[in-house]
Structure 1
Amino acid sequence: MKHLLILLAWMLPHQADGTLFACKNAKVSLYSKAPLEDIRATSATAASVYKATTGEVAFNVPIRSFKFQKSLMQEHFNENYMESDKFPNATFKGKVQSLPDLTKDGTYAVKATGDLTVHGVTQNRTIDGAFTVKGGAVSFNSEFTVKCVDHKIDIPKLVFQKIAESISVSVTATYIKN
């Protein structure tokens, strides 16, 4: 909830001219395919806000909220790779280009350009996604790749066969109108 409040505070000064959508339980999944072991993790506590009239969008995921099949993987992820105490969140703040009409049912492919911050390193990215409107319900889905080196996430040579250099990220958010 705290993460949603932070995102809403970021968007509220701009709310007067449009409709704001919020999601406090977006699902973010990570997948690493490596020669010796595939690694999967999921968080269901990411927060997101979207302003339909301007296309402003923001996501915030607490790094420690990712759950792994093996507790040791989760421990290594937080302590050795992501340094979760030092960098507690991953964020995206940007703008959707070619705004979809969220008043009509359908699936709308979009691109969002903005700043992706992971492990304290911010990269300007354009991320593909899709809004789906069905019976007034609005959801968003996206899949993209994050390269560890781009965000200064070090993979020790000892475990390079267990962790991929690029991580697949999948995001799903179902919004409510605020």
Structure 2
Amino acid sequence: MKKTLLAAACLILTLVKGYGQQYMTRNGFVGFYSKTPAEDIKAETRQGFAIIDEGKKNLAFAVLIKGFTFPKELMQEHFNENYMESDKYPKATFNGSFAGDLAPGRDGVYHVTVKGNLTMHGVTKPVEMPATIERKGNQLIGHAVFHISPEEFNVSIPSLVREKIEKSLEVHVDIQCDQK
């Protein structure tokens, strides 16, 4: 598992080469949620690797699928084995850019638009979402909320369960990147 994370980190670093100031974290938060009549779905991880190149306005993110934890162990087992096939597709990645100006060296919250490619379960899709980046000293703190549908990433939901859950999952991303 450490080798996979190291490989993801190397990939991200090569994708975000640049001359601007870089910020990085290895403990970014990703959580996804879905309210259902039968049972709510909630999973979270604090093992996200993120890097932001402020000058080029590039960013990249990787998270190991097996890093997500659920309130119920059986739910986590089904997620990894039946839905996400995490042995076959061990990570999800995002590679993209942001539009919006961050005042150099000035603390504050900046509203940006993040646009790029999300790869999950072997499928790559373009995504775009509003986000905030807060400059706080030598850190950039990013926050985004967006929705994805398992079907658009070829994640099969059995018919027995399909009608009992929402069609899309709400995804929260929070990163606190230190200047490198």
- Give percent identity, aligned residues only: 35
Residue in structure 2 matched with residue 6 of structure 1 by the alignment: 11
Residue in structure 2 matched with residue 170 of structure 1 by the alignment: 172
Residue in structure 2 matched with residue 110 of structure 1 by the alignment: 112
Q: What aligned pairs does 1:1-178 form with structure 2 within 5 A after superposition?
A: 2=6, 3-11=8-16, 14-15=17-18, 17-178=19-180
Work out the number of aligned pairs and report it.
175
* Local SS of the residue matching 1:165: coil
Q: Contact conserved, 1:47 with 1:61, CA < 8 A, in 2?
A: yes
Letter in 2 for 1:173: I
Taking the aligned partners of 1:42 and 1:102, their CA distance within structure 2 comes to: 32
Letter in 1 for 2:40: D
TM-score (norm 2): 0.91
Deviation larger for 40-49 or 133-142:
133-142
* Local SS of the residue matching 1:68: coil
Runs of 4+ in 1 over 6 A off after TM superposition: none
Kindly provide the CA deviation profile for residues 13-32 of structure 1, in whole angstroms up to 9, marking residues without a partner as x: x33x2111111100000101
- How far the C-alpha of 1:34 sits from its partner, in A, is 1.4
Stretches of structure 1 that go unaligned for 5 or more consecutive residues are none
Q: Contact conserved, 1:115 with 1:124, CA < 8 A, in 2?
A: yes
CA separation of 1:10 and 1:76: change in aligned 2, threshold 3 A? same
CA separation of 1:10 and 1:54: change in aligned 2, threshold 3 A? same
* Local SS of the residue matching 1:80: helix
- How far the C-alpha of 1:6 sits from its partner, in A, is 3.2
* Local SS of the residue matching 1:84: coil
- How far the C-alpha of 1:9 sits from its partner, in A, is 3.2
Taking the aligned partners of 2:35 and 2:163, their CA distance within structure 1 comes to: 9
**What root-mean-square deviation, in Å, do the aligned CA atoms of Structure 1 and Structure 2 show?**
1.4
